Amino acid sequence: MIDSLAHSHSSSDICELVSGTLIGDPYLSVSSVASIESDRPNSITYFGHAKYEPFIYGDHARAILVPHAYEPIQGSKVTFIKVDNVQDAFTKVALSMFNEQQMSKQSHILKSTAILGAGTFVAKDEVSIGDYVIIGASCKIGSGVIIEDQVYIGDDVIIGARTRVYPGVRIMNGVEIGADCIIYPNAVIGADGFGHRSSADGYTKVPHFGKVIIEDKVEIGSNVCIDRGALTDTIIRTGAKLDNLIHIAHGADIGAHVAIAAQSGISGSSKIGAGSRLGGQVGVVGHISIAPNSSIQAQSGVAGDIKEPGKKWYGYPSIPYFRYLRSFAIFKRLPELLERIRNLEKR
């Protein structure tokens, strides 16, 4: 949650931003965002579910985004902004305020403890490189990039404009990262994949020559591991969103705008079609393809190609969603059904 903003804004300014209808004080100063339960003065929040209605009216003046159908109580200290979709409007307000806050803090900063390798290019406009950052040789750092403390970046790495790299991230040699990405703490990008050949002595390591390529507007959660390919590249395409604690194995191809929840694992050389959604703890075996806009429910295991786009899948191994629900309904009754069969056999 954004706790404070770079500047305060009037409720009428915010109303204009979201194309809303204002009821209350057009001059109310809004200087933070908050939850509806907090009753924080001079904050903005939204009313998105009936169970939160008891928290609307508190002791302090604040702004609340509400649906057009909501009728406020007269004489309240609250200023209401009626909108078509409260969550979309709140996201727009929060992003606008957050971006403004970042711009107010941003300037060209290179901390004295940072180390830059030979031939590395850093754009001159509004780049911030924190304490104890190590950047290898022949890297390219785009304009507006923020690299926070204790980040390691290997040789020949490219980081596109306005990407933010949080503390403790490790980016290995040759990784390419696009513009407007977010990489959260302790992610590891570009380590060798789990490639070994069995031999008389146990295992022989297979060297990995591929890259990791991350396109624009990708978000990578904390402790995510994305391995480089052995011969081909591992690719995370535009707009993909990866939650915390995900493993993307060597040579995988994650399609545009794919969303993957925490603790999922994508095996090597698998392809996830654009727009697909994978719930938490989903496992995908290697060398398969998942059709675009597929929905894989949490804890499912995908053991073969999914060829038909836009379908839901569930189970381990996964089957079509509604077939799984029917099958599970039968599974729950198996002890009862078995007892009935035994009774019939006794007769």
**Type of residue at 216:** D
Partners of 162 in the beta sheet? none
Partners of 75 in the beta sheet? none
**Type of residue at 33:** V
Q: Give the span between the Cα atoms of 241 and 320, in whole angstroms.
A: 24
Half-sphere exposure of 116 (CA within 13 A, CB side): 14
- What's the CA angle centered on 63, arms 62 and 67, to 5 degrees? 145
Report helix, strand or coil for 279.
Answer: coil
Half-sphere exposure of 251 (CA within 13 A, CB side): 18
Q: Give the span between the Cα atoms of 171 and 226, in whole angstroms.
A: 10
Report helix, strand or coil for 161.
Answer: coil
Asked if 102 contacts 84 with a C-beta cutoff of 8 angstroms, the reply is no
Q: Which residues are catalytic?
A: 250
Encode 302-323 in three state secondary structure. ECCCECCCCCEEECCCCEEHHH
